[in-house]
Amino acid sequence: MNVDEKYISEIVEKVVRECVSGKTISSDGDIPVGVSNRHIHLTQEHVEVLFGKGYQLTPLKDLSQPGQYACKEQLTLIGPSLRAIEGVRVLGPVRKQSQVEISKTDSFTLKVKPPVRESGDLAGSAPITIIGPKGLVQLNEGCILANRHIHMSPADGERYGVKDGDYVSVETVGEGKRTKLYDVQIRVSDKFILEMHLDTDDANACGIGNGSKVKLVKD
Report the pLDDT value the prediction gives residue 16, as an integer from 0 to 100: 41
pLDDT in tens, 29-69: 899 999 999 999 999 999 999 999 999 999 999 999 999 99
Residue 203 in this model has a pLDDT that exceeds 70: yes
Q: How far apart are CA 83 and CA 7, in angstroms?
A: 65
Q: Average pLDDT of 94-123?
A: 96
Report the pLDDT value the prediction gives residue 74, as an integer from 0 to 100: 98
Confidence band, pLDDT 50/70/90 cuts, at residue 107: very high
Report the pLDDT value the prediction gives residue 2, as an integer from 0 to 100: 54
Report the pLDDT value the prediction gives residue 12, as an integer from 0 to 100: 44
Report the pLDDT value the prediction gives residue 11, as an integer from 0 to 100: 47
pLDDT in tens, 118-168: 999 999 999 999 999 999 999 999 999 999 999 999 999 999 999 999 999
Where is average pLDDT lowest: 23-37, 58-72, 105-119, 169-183?
23-37
Nearest CA among 70, 62, 64 for reference residue 41: 70
Confidence band, pLDDT 50/70/90 cuts, at residue 200: very high
Quote the mean pLDDT of the chain: 89
Please report the domains of the chain, with CATH numbers, ordered by start residue: 25-34+148-217 (2.40.40.20), 38-146 (no CATH)
Q: Per the omega criterion (within 30 degrees of 0), is the bond before 115 cis?
A: no
Residue 207 in this model has a pLDDT that exceeds 70: yes
Report the pLDDT value the prediction gives residue 89, as an integer from 0 to 100: 98
Report the pLDDT value the prediction gives residue 174, as an integer from 0 to 100: 77
pLDDT in tens, 74-98: 999 999 889 999 999 999 999 999 9
Report the pLDDT value the prediction gives residue 6, as an integer from 0 to 100: 53
